[in-house]
């Protein structure tokens, strides 16, 4: 009976709080003449988006298509970031375990410095490096033939299209904008430092005896790593890696600070234009929750698969 009483009280408090807030919101929205609901998604957005690699988008398209472009941009930077951070992080984590003093120390310094400063500072730093340290298009750096590094973006040759200087900027080829490059670089370098620690802990969690046994039966160090240590280390590593992948996806929302048009920055523009704050924030949260749950489900499935082997 007491148990039931506590729970009923908790539900009642939760309902009263939510009801009170909802009441205030409806009064306030009426006073400001904002129609609540998602009807605004069908209206014309009226703003341009600087990059949209997947969908054709123009200012006359709807808010819905603008948000879809944002989701595409979020997923693009998160997916590439996850792959790049995994590679870099795995390398740095193994370097930290190297016999070579110099390699070990440099990798350790990297992890220590990157993990102890905010990602947002690092994003601004990379953005400043690209826009301040790289030359203008007319004096572009050309480290490889056809590849041009400028403060307006990085240009690469694509099949059937080579970047060429036209007026004040390059045209043609495949371009990485300064915003995308800074965001990707920032997310990768930052998250790799955390992944490196996971990889290091994962390898250390495999007992010394496993190494010795693998070497004793005549495997080389490389074979021992691939066939004996990594499969066992993976089991320890998968859950924390999953949360780092989630972090990359969530942290990609910092794009709004350097002007990369991800979901959050487009939803933010929509909120400012329409005043539909509740709907805008609800959309952001719903999309991220969906992505988070999908990544968790995927990693749980993978975890179950490797645990069975």
Q: Which is nearer to other proteins, 105 or 161 (CB)?
A: 105
The alpha carbon dihedral of 26, 29, 30, 35 has a sign of: negative
**Residues 263/73, Cβ–Cβ less than 8 Å:** yes
In the complex, the smallest distance separating the C-beta of residue 293 from other proteins, rounded to whole angstroms, is 7
88: left (phi over 0), alpha (psi -120 to 50) or beta: alpha
d(CA 248, CA 265): 16
Helices (H) and strands (E) in the chain, counts: 11, 5
Cβ 137 to other proteins shortest distance, Å: 17
Q: Shortest approach of other proteins to residue 246 CB, angstroms?
A: 8
Which residue ranges make up the site for other proteins (CB under 8 A)? Answer: 3, 6-7, 10-11, 14, 21, 24-25, 27-29, 31, 98-103, 106, 112-113, 115-122, 124-125, 127-129, 131-133, 250-251, 253-254, 256-257, 264, 268, 271, 277-278, 280-281, 284-285, 288-289, 292-293
Name the minimum Å distance from CB 260 to other proteins: 13
Give least dist CB 149 to other proteins, A: 16
3-state DSSP helix/strand/coil percent for the chain, to nearest 5? 70, 5, 20
Nearer to other proteins, 132 or 139 (CB): 132
**What is the nearest approach in angstroms of other proteins to the Cβ of residue 127?**
8
> In this complex, which beta carbon is closest to other proteins, that of residue 62 or of residue 243?
243
- For other proteins, the closer of residues 61 and 251 by Cβ is 251
Q: Nearer to other proteins by C-beta: 155 or 288?
A: 288
- Is residue 151 helix, strand or coil? coil
3-state class (DSSP) for residue 156: strand
Closer of 112 and 142 to other proteins (Cβ): 112
Residues 6+ apart with CB under 8 A from 10: none
Contact 244, 191 (CB under 8 A): yes
Nearest to 81 by CA among 113, 119, 117, 124: 119
Cα–chain center distance at 210 = 35
Quote the least distance from Cβ 309 to other proteins, whole Å.
Answer: 27
Q: Which is nearer to other proteins, 32 or 309 (CB)?
A: 32
Angle in degrees, CA 283, 287, 290, rounded to 5 = 140
Is there a contact between 191 and 247 (Cβ–Cβ < 8 Å)?
Answer: yes
């Amino acid at each position: 009976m007491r148990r039931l009483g506590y729970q009923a009280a908790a539900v009642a408090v939760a309902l009263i709080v939510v009801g009170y807030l909802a009441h205030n919101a409806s009064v306030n929205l009426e006073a400001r003449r904002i129609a609540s609901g998602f009807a605004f998604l069908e209206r014309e957005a009226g703003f341009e988006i600087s990059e949209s690699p997947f969908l054709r988008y123009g200012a006359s398209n709807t808010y819905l298509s603008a948000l879809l472009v944002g989701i595409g941009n979020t997923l693009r930077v998160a997916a590439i970031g996850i792959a790049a951070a995994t590679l870099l992080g795995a390398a740095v984590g193994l370097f930290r375990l190297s016999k070579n003093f110099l390699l070990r120390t440099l990798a350790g310094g990297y992890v220590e410095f990157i993990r102890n400063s905010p990602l947002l500072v690092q994003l601004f730093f990379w953005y400043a490096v690209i826009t301040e340290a790289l030359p203008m298009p007319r004096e572009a750096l050309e480290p490889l033939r056809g590849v041009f590094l400028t403060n307006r973006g990085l240009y690469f040759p694509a099949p059937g299209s080579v970047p060429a200087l036209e007026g004040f900027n390059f045209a043609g080829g495949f371009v990485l904008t300064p915003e995308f490059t800074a965001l990707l670089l920032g997310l990768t370098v930052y998250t790799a430092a955390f992944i490196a620690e996971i990889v290091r802990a994962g390898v250390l969690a495999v007992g010394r005896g496993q190494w010795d046994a693998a070497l004793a039966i005549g495997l080389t160090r490389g074979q021992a790593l691939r066939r004996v240590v990594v499969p066992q280390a993976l089991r320890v590593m998968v859950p924390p890696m999953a949360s780092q992948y989630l972090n990359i996806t969530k942290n990609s929302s910092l794009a709004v600070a350097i002007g990369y048009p991800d979901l959050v920055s487009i939803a933010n523009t929509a909120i400012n234009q329409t005043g539909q704050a509740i709907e805008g924030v609800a959309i952001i949260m719903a999309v991220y929750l969906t992505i988070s749950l999908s990544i968790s489900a995927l990693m749980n499935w993978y975890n179950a698969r490797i645990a069975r082997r």
